[in-house]
Each structure stands twice: as C-alpha cells, then as structure tokens.
Amino acid sequence: MLKLEFVQPIRDKKKIDTVKKILLSKSVRDYCLFTLGINSGLRISDLLNLRISDVVDENDKIRDRITLREKKTNKTKNFPISDVARKAIIEYLKTRNFEFDEPFFLSKKQNNGKAPLQRDQAYKIINNAAREIGITEKIGTHTLRKTFGYHAYKSGVAIEVIQKLFNHSTPSITLRYIGITQDDLDEVYLNLNL
C-alpha cells in the first residue's frame, strides 16, 4: 500500500505566484527548484539528484526534455521542459558557473566539493516561503509534486493520465494524493447546472 504524506498542494494560483516572487527575491536557485518542481511533478529526491547534464546539453543549451531514472521506482522518466520551467532554469544558470557533471541544485554549504541541496534544506525553503505568505496548511517537499497533480487535474487532465504520470496503482489513490477535497467534488454539482 502506498504511504500517503499528508502535506497539501498549493491550490491557489495567486499564492503560487506569490511564493515564486518571495523565492526569487531571496535566491534564484530556490525559485528554480520550486518552479521546476511544480511544473514537472518530480519527487523531491529526483529533483535534488538532477545533474547539470540532465538539464543542459554538451553545447550548454537547455535540453528540450529531461530524462532520468527515478530513485524510488528505478523507472525511466522522460518529460518535456515547460516554458515556465525553462525560463527559471535559464535565470538560475545565469547566476552560477557550472561543470557538466555536477549537481544542478547546489548546496550553499560547500563541504567536499560541490554537493547537492539536501532534502531538509529544500523543506525549509518551501515551508518558510509558504508561511511567509500565510499558508497554514501542512506544506513540505511533496507539496511541489502534489501541486503539479492538483492543477493538472483542475485544468481538465484525466485522473488516469495523472495516475500514470505518478505511477499510482488506482485513480482513487491519485485523487487522495493530490488533495481533491469534498469541496472540489461539490463544485461539480454546483457548477454543472444543465
């Protein structure tokens, strides 16, 4: 049985935009992490394990697609980079020098060489920005993935497609996972009005 974390997606698009602005004002890296996370649906472990070579080709151009092996499932994941994510990546890469084989999201704590940003630090970054704008629901690193799924569903993407993207076994697990609430379900009855 899939263990569901009880963090929530960010449901309000205005709050997403405000979180982006807060993160961008503090760190382009953190802004890029959040933006790529909510536009890819990747697990935080896969986001933090990205290498420059996953995102940039040998000619220092942003790739059209990211291909990686998921840490949790060991399955290959291949997806296109959206325009919004591409812009965030470009802005982030302008702020740093990089080598092809190093971590994409660098930790600011440089112990032995260039280390990737750690999960606990990513949690603090996301949680602090959410609290700063008054989000009181439980927010964590999984919020990025859940926000992607929630907004995909709300924009009309079939739950079965999101289920496949997330490698869930049933649509009901995906609905619970992305935080579809009774209010969301009631909206169907209230807004259909045939």
Give the chain's domain count: 1
One-letter amino acid for residue 1 of the chain:
M
pTM over 0.85: yes
Looking up tokens 């325009």 gives 83
Tokens in use for 190? 């209230």
Looking up tokens 């032995």 gives 112
Distance in angstroms (rounded) separating the CA atoms of residues 188 and 193: 9
Residue 31 lies in a domain: yes
> Is 177 an active-site residue?
yes
Size of the chain, expressed as the number of residues it contains: 194
CATH number, domain with residue 25: 1.10.443.10
Backbone angles phi, psi at 69, to 5 degrees: -105, 120
Residue 178 lies in a domain: no
Please report which confidence band the pLDDT of residue 113 belongs to, taking 50, 70 and 90 as the band edges. low
Q: Which of 145, 146, 150, 153 is catalytic?
A: 145
Q: How far is CA 188 from CA 152, 185, 193, in A?
A: 16, 6, 9
Distance in angstroms (rounded) separating the CA atoms of residues 145 and 47: 10
> Is 151 an active-site residue?
no
Q: Which of 3, 65, 72, 94 is catalytic?
A: 72
Q: Which of 142, 146, 151, 153 is catalytic?
A: 142
4-21 confidence digits (pLDDT tens):
447 999 999 999 999 999
Tokens in use for 160? 């079965």
Residue 165 lies in a domain: no
Q: Which of 43, 86, 146, 151 is catalytic?
A: 43
Residue 59 lies in a domain: yes
pLDDT of residue 188: 81
Residue 161 lies in a domain: no
Its domain, for residue 106, covers 13-139
Is the pLDDT at 109 greater than 90? The verdict is no
Q: What's the DSSP call for residue 95? A: T
38-66 confidence digits (pLDDT tens):
999 999 999 999 999 999 999 999 999 99
Whole-number average pLDDT of the chain: 92
Rounded (10°) CA dihedral 149, 67, 89, 93: 150
